[in-house]
Amino acid sequence: MQKRIIECVPNFSEGRNAETIKQITDSIEAVKGVKLLDVDPGEATNRTVVTFVGEPEAVMDAAVASIKRATELIDMRLHKGAHPRMGACDVCPLIPVSGITMEECAELARTLAKRVAEELNVPTYCYEAAAFKPERRNLAVCREGEYEGLPEKMACEDKRPDFGARPFDEGIARTGATAVGARDFLVAVNFNLNTTSTRRANAIAFDVREKGRPRREGNPIVGKIIKDENGEPIMIPGTLKECKAIGWYIQEYGIAQVSMNMTNLSVTPLHIAFDEVCRAADSRGVRVTGTEIVGLVPKKALVDAGRYFLHKQRRSTGVPERELVRIAIETMGLSNLKEFKPEEKVVEYILEAEQQKGVNKLVDMTCAAFAEETASESPAPGGGSISAYMGALGAALGAMVANLSSHKAGWDDRWEFFSQWAEKGVTVMNELLALVDEDTAAFNKIMDVFAMPKNTPEEKAERSRAMQVATLYATQVPLRTMQTAYKVFEIVKAMAVEGNPNSVSDAGVGALAARSAVMGACLNVKINAAGLKDRETAEALVKEAEKIQQQAQKAEQEILAIVEGKINQ
């Protein structure tokens, strides 16, 4: 299951006092499970933009903590700056990064707005996707009149905040109000051109940006701009929705670029923008020589790009995630100006590295090291982790046969069929690899209980309760391994029947590995279920495990019969 990750980009009304800014960001970093990505103070605006990411619950807690600290340190009665603002924390948008929808993010934003109002006594407006009123999707509507206009807005029924509405008082005078919203991830990207002409770069930018260019009389470059009855220029729209772009010349690189802000990747993905800029550039005799991503990018943008470019080549897209990212980097020339390092530029990889500091994952070991760790006197990894890994190998073999079949000479018309099976194989493989470490984690939870005190009746009762919770978890994890490993049979059977006959034995080994994974995990379900006091639950878990085990044995025999038949033809 994909981990849910969101980004939060609060803007605080302080850009000059470094100590104040640090105290605010310290409150964010004090929350476990979040990663502070960027702190961007502006002296003229007297405003600091902070960016951090994490799982929703941790991000929400960090947002509340930072807004609380900001309201303690910033007095809006004394604030002056060039940027529009209405509160110590002026805006606080939540942005879906992975494993979460915009609708879910909007609900989180509303929950956060309510918390800020109730826990911190700061009035809050909900904007963009979190807005309760259509007009409040526009941040400017929420911030109308800025801080100085709050007394009037608090007294007006239609302009009151969504949460924390009350007459203007000393508390509001100090903290101001906050706008909490949900919006899409903004990707800033520059497309490198083999020209030094800003005019050519601008022409390409106007071709593709959503706003387009003004319609002119006669000459499309210097002709008189045609205006409507209200005196506004009539625009010729560009080809890319939710994209803003201009052309410029970069002295440092000696090239012109199309500089673009992509505000909704679900409407216009990165790879579509790249292809369209290439098309527009080519029509003007210019080439795109590479791409520069400014700041960070969600993993999905690169994975989708890699899959898209492989699909254009009629190549299988059922390859590991890191390979898809590599294809995206190579195709779009992300290392054209300087090396693009995914571990430093991809939001999920940055957060993953932070969370894994000091943690030695089994799946990150070499094959030899994993075997040696298993052979050691340590009780983990044990049979559960080994079962999950065997299942992962079975899925990997299914994906391998699908990929080989996709590229088989003379089977070009079937590449997409095999590509889809390869994708299924990689998905199941990844699920089982995650269960390798989860099974060991489940065992460690039981070991942790043994370390709990048992000196008093209360401590003994809590220890007993914790043991039952840990034992139930340790029973459920191998059952999930069984359920997931069983999915391998569908893949390897399809490959035994339809795949490259030269690889049919690999499909057979995949079935054997999957069967062993199911059988091994079943033993773990049974031994852990024996420790459950809730016998009704224990018996239900074992019953389900035995059912899957029987189905796996039958599936294995069917697949082996197909394999033997093809080998003996």
Alpha-carbon torsion, ordered 380, 382, 385, 390, to 10 deg: 140
Alpha carbon distance 170, 509 (integer Å): 73
User: What pairing do the DSSP bridges indicate for beta strands 11-12 and 47-54?
Assistant: antiparallel
Q: Measured between alpha carbons, how far is 277 from 240 in angstroms, rounded to an integer? A: 9
Q: How far is Cα 489 from Cα 392, in angstroms, rounded to an integer?
A: 12
CB 546 within 8 A of CB 522: yes
Q: What are the C-alpha distances in Å from 302 to residues 244, 257, 327, 335?
A: 20, 21, 9, 14
Confirm if 50 and 36 have CB atoms less than 8 A apart.
Answer: yes
Residue 91 is given by DSSP the state E
Angstrom distance (rounded) from CA 515 to CA 482? 9
As given in the structure block, the two tokens for residue 315 are 């190549």
Instruction: Please give the torsion angle defined by the CA atoms of residues 236, 238, 101 and 346, in that order, rounded to the nearest 10 degrees.
Output: -150
What is the spatial distance between Cα 198 and Cα 205, in angstroms, rounded to a whole number? 10
Active site (catalytic) residues: 83, 439
Q: Using alpha carbons, list the distances in angstroms from residue 90 to 17, 140, 176, 283.
A: 17, 12, 8, 44
